[in-house]
């Protein structure tokens, strides 16, 4: 019975029990959250897919065809896949027979 009394006696107050961890969390110093990462595969894929469009726009507007900060092989692989995907899609669209022209002739 005395042990139960000691447990109840040493139970922390609810306000202190919940505010102490919050004070510790808010007491930490603010750190700058600057995450600088190199462009990866997906950035290369989009740049590669839009390469022809960027090439056509570049004389008029200031557009970089390839990201100057790209230095990894992930970006290069994505760029090549993007260029090849665009070229394949354009080739398939150009070689597909038009249904309207086939009906007219």
Per residue in 33-88, pLDDT tens?
666 677 889 989 999 999 999 999 988 998 888 888 888 889 999 999 999 999 99
Residue with tokens 């950035």: 43
Alpha-carbon distances of 78 from 19, 35, 45, 67, 69, rounded to whole Å = 50, 22, 4, 12, 15
Residue 56 is assigned to a structural domain of this protein: yes
Q: How many domains does the chain have?
A: 1
Is residue 76 within 8 A of residue 70, CB to CB? The reply is yes
List the domain range (segments joined by +) for residue 84: 41-104
The answer to whether position 4 is within a domain reads: no
Band (pLDDT 50/70/90 cuts) for residue 23 is low
H or E segment at 104? helix 99-104
**Does residue 90 belong to any structural domain of this protein?**
yes
């Amino acid at each position: 019975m005395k042990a139960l009394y000691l447990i109840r006696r040493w139970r922390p107050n609810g306000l202190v029990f919940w505010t102490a961890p919050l004070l510790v969390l808010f007491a930490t110093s603010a750190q700058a959250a600057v995450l600088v990462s190199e462009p990866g595969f997906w950035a290369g894929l989009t740049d590669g897919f839009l390469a022809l469009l960027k090439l056509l726009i570049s004389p008029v507007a200031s557009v970089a065809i390839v990201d100057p900060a790209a230095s990894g092989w992930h970006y290069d692989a994505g760029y090549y896949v993007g260029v090849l995907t665009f070229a394949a899609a354009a080739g398939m669209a150009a070689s597909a027979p038009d249904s309207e022209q086939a009906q007219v002739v």
